[in-house]
Structure 1
Amino acid sequence: MNSNPLSDALAMRATASAFDAHRGKLPVPGGPHRSPDSVAVARQISELGKMITDLGDEVLFRATDQDREVHTARVITSFAATVRPAGEAAAALGAVAHQLSFLDQTEHLRDQPDARDAREAAVRVMDDVLGTAEVALREAADSLHAASATVSPPSVRLQAARSRSTTAAPAPGPLPPAGALAAAAPQDRIARSR
């Protein structure tokens, strides 16, 4: 595998997109389409575990490369730093799986007051840890997207388009006084709106 700024940036963007996709698949307690399901949560934990392994492989591949390029240290740092939020998301989903298992085991006790309180607490825990997973996955994706831009800056065409779009529009002038706007409006329009 050849490591160059463009291929490294593309690898980081692809990984960031995968984290975004995982965030989109997070269960939503009480949601009609994405309510927490033990199998789906376990599958997502497994997929995140594979992504963590892939992050480690990306770091290892570049760390053992004898012909490192100047940008390689930034790529290694970015992939390595993403392991932490990916692990936090996987751990949060592990807590969701634990709470789902508890709810399943206590289903037959749901009408008893003590069990009802414990079951409600389990749902609150799931809400909290799913929020943690969402934040962690967003952090992982955002950091990789940002890092990819530093490794492989935008193309010359994109830079030119950006410079044209920011300088082509004239700067807005001062706003006229509020009374001047009302005076400038046609009188028949004002009368119709009343």
Structure 2
Amino acid sequence: MPLPSPDAPTLRATAADFDTLRDNLPVFSDPLSTLDSHTIADQLSELSVLINYMADEILFRTVDRKRSGDPAPAIAGFAAAVRPACEAATALASVAHRLSNLEQAGQQHDESGAPGYDRLVMGNALAKADKALRATADSLRHAAVTPSPEAARTQAARHRSAAGAPGSFPPPAAPQAVSTTRTARGR
């Protein structure tokens, strides 16, 4: 059984924050879901705060080497989660941009017929943001259960000591004779 990272609670809490953000995304097909530039901008702002938090956690763990335990798994976990979080931010930004353009066009009474296409594009972007936020949270949860190299070494040592116990494994086979003739390759 893998030993969890000492940073597992922080990684899991951050994953939960991404899950909450994902749960609060507007659902494009739901008529009760609010989809306006303010709502999307608010979601984008919250996502930016979480991305900044992960970057700060990476920096903190990189600079503060006096911490107990190995910071590498948490650094790797947060770093891996930044990519899908940024993909979600890009998708939300495209929705905010498109909504802003539609709201501006609506103020100018522009009846161009583009809203059907825009709705499809925004629905796809929201689906992409949802998928990327799920990937971010899953990545953080995975990092929380991945054992640190220090824990993996401890676990391997326990396994080796148990393997050396009498009667646990058959004795190793006798080594086979190694051929002393080698074929020289041209240089």
TM-score if structure 1 supplies the norm length? 0.68
| 1:81-96 aligned within 5 A | 81-96=80-95
Task: Pick 1 or 2: higher relative contact order, CA cutoff 8 A, min separation 6.
Answer: 2
Aligned AA for 2:134? Answer: R
| Aligned position for 1:141 | 137
> Runs of 5+ in structure 2 lacking a partner?
152-187
| Aligned position for 2:60 | 61
Instruction: Indicate the structure with greater helix content.
Output: 1
| 1:18-37 aligned within 5 A | 18-37=17-36
| Aligned position for 1:46 | 45
* Deviation of the 1:135 alpha carbon: 0.7
* Deviation of the 1:71 alpha carbon: 3.5
RMSD across aligned C-alpha pairs, in angstroms? Answer: 2.0
Distance in 2 (CA, whole Å) between partners of 1:71 and 1:105 is: 52
* Deviation of the 1:105 alpha carbon: 2.1
Number of equivalent positions: 144
* Deviation of the 1:129 alpha carbon: 0.7
Secondary structure in 1 aligned to 2:38?
helix
* Deviation of the 1:67 alpha carbon: 2.6
User: Structure 1 residue 12 and structure 2 residue 11: aligned?
Assistant: yes
Aligned AA for 2:131? Answer: V
Which of structure 1's runs of 4+ aligned residues deviate more than 4 A? none
| Aligned position for 1:109 | 110
| Aligned position for 1:121 | 117
| Aligned position for 2:164 | none
| Aligned position for 1:98 | 97
* Deviation of the 1:69 alpha carbon: 5.1
Judge conservation of contact 2:54–2:78 (CA < 8 Å) in 1: yes
* Deviation of the 1:26 alpha carbon: 0.8
Q: 1:50 to 1:142 in 2, by over 3 A?
A: same
TM-score if structure 2 supplies the norm length? 0.71
1:130 paired residue among 126, 130, 144:
126
Aligned AA for 1:59? Answer: I
* Deviation of the 1:17 alpha carbon: 0.2
Distance in 2 (CA, whole Å) between partners of 1:135 and 1:66 is: 34
Q: 1:151 to 1:5 in 2, by over 3 A?
A: same
Distance in 1 (CA, whole Å) between partners of 2:64 and 2:16 is: 26
Judge conservation of contact 1:62–1:76 (CA < 8 Å) in 2: yes
Distance in 2 (CA, whole Å) between partners of 1:151 and 1:15 is: 18
Aligned AA for 1:97? Answer: A
| Aligned position for 1:76 | 75
Secondary structure in 2 aligned to 1:36?
coil
> Runs of 5+ in structure 1 lacking a partner?
154-194
* Deviation of the 1:68 alpha carbon: 5.2
